[in-house]
Chains A and B, each alone.
Chain A
Amino acid sequence: MSDGLDKLVEDIVRESRTRAEEIRKTGLAQIEDRLAEARAEATREADQITRNLRTECEAVVNRQVSQEKQKARLAYLAEKNRVLNDVMKDVRARLLEFCRNDSSYRPFLLKSIAQGIDATPSDRVKVALSEKDIRRYKGTKLLANALSTMHTTKMAVLSDEPVETTGGAVVASEDDKVRVDCTLEARLELMKPQLLSEISKILFVS
């Protein structure tokens, strides 16, 4: 009787321990699953951070490099402009010298006047010079000489009104409706892009 009772007690205890073990195993497995799932998700997010990192690092380097390049480019252009402006100042100074030398300036002036007369669609034209040139060439055969190089029947008179210029002439139709600016300043302005390009070629192309 006692043996049977002991066996029954042992069975009850064993059964409950087995059940407890199953509950523990199932519970622990559920917890492990949740942990593994969360770990996998966190690892995926961490991997995404790492994957984006290369692009982010490249962006950091590129931003600094492009900022510095932009700065260098602006400084280079500013310095280039400064040098070009200095050279253009030298060009203007040389033009002033050129205009003071009658033997070289007069042929240029004749050519400018002839070009102006040719471009003015009028039979009678007025030729305006700088105040200095009016004083220098009034009474000389400047206009006659210019006309003689053109083989034209046009008539030209010297205007009493001076123009503001280093050299050259402004030719206008008699009614002042057409004006052809053949001054050095106009020529300088007109040819500026070409001049700057030529100067740049000489100075900056190595």
Chain B
Amino acid sequence: MNKIVETEKESRQILDQTNKEISELKRDAPKKIALMREDILQKATERRESALAEAEKTGVEEAKRIALESKKQLDSISQIPSAKRRQAVDRAIELLLS
């Protein structure tokens, strides 16, 4: 009879132990979920930041190219041949006095 009582006590302990383990796992689950979520979003954020930095670099390169083209264009305006300027003045005078 004692053995049966002992065994039932032991089996209750087994169940209690299992319930305790599962309760602990459930208690830890939100923390685990938060860490996993943070890890996934952190990786996405890092990908985003790296892509944005790359885009920034591309933008800077493109802006440099435009600035260079603009400088060439400005130089070409500043260096208009004097014959062309004379031609423009002649045309303006012609229109004014006609």
A interface with B by C-beta (< 8 Å): 5, 8-9, 12-13, 15-17, 19-21, 23-24, 27-28, 30-31, 34-35, 38-39, 41-43, 45-47, 49-50, 53, 56-58, 60-65, 67-69, 71-72, 75-76, 79-80, 83, 86-88, 90-91, 94-95, 98, 108, 184, 187-188, 191, 194-195, 198-199, 202-204
CB distance from A14 to the nearest CB of B (A): 9
In the complex, A5 Cα to B1 Cα: how many Å?
9
Establish whether residues A202 and B44, one from each chain, have CB atoms under 8 Å apart when the complex forms: no
Set of chain B residues within 8 Å of A194, measured between Cβ atoms: 95
B37 near A87 with CB under 8 A, answer no
Q: Given A8-B4, A49-B44, is A79 in contact with B78 using a C-beta cutoff of 8 Å?
A: yes
Interchain CB contact under 8 A, A64 and B11: no
Contact A57 B29 (CB under 8 A): no
Smallest CB gap from A22: residue in B: B18
Tell me which of A20, A28, A72, A198 contacts B25 (CB under 8 A). Answer: A28
> When chains A and B are docked, how far (Å) is the Cα of A63 from the Cα of B56?
10
CB contact under 8 A between A199 and B91, given known A34-B29, A188-B96, A191-B96: yes
Docked-complex contact A191 and B95, CB < 8 angstroms: yes
Interface residues of B in 1-56 (CB under 8 A from A): 3-4, 7-8, 10-12, 14-15, 17-19, 21-22, 25-26, 29, 32-33, 36-37, 40-41, 43-45, 47-48, 51-52, 54-56
B66:A65 contact, CB within 8 angstroms: yes
Interface of B toward A, CB cutoff 8 Å: 3-4, 7-8, 10-12, 14-15, 17-19, 21-22, 25-26, 29, 32-33, 36-37, 40-41, 43-45, 47-48, 51-52, 54-56, 58-60, 62-63, 66-67, 69-70, 73-74, 77-78, 80, 84-85, 87-89, 91-93, 95-97
Chain B residues with Cβ below 8 Å from A203 are 77, 80, 84-85, 88
Q: Return the chain A residue nearest B77 by Cβ.
A: A79
Q: Among the listed B21, B36, B67, B69, which residue makes an inter-chain contact with A42, where contact means beta carbons less than 8 Å apart?
A: B36
The SS class assigned to the A binding surface is helix
Chain A: minimal CB distance from B79 (Å):
10
A50 is contacted by which of B19, B44, B69 (Cβ under 8 Å)?
B44
Contact A63 to B59, CB < 8 A, known contacts A57-B52, A76-B73: yes
Report the minimum CB–CB distance from A8 to chain B (whole Å).
6
Given contacts A5-B3, A69-B66, whether A91 and B92 have CB atoms under 8 Å apart is yes
**List of A residues within 8 angstroms of B67 by Cβ:** 68, 71-72
Bound form: Cα–Cα A41–B33 in Å: 11
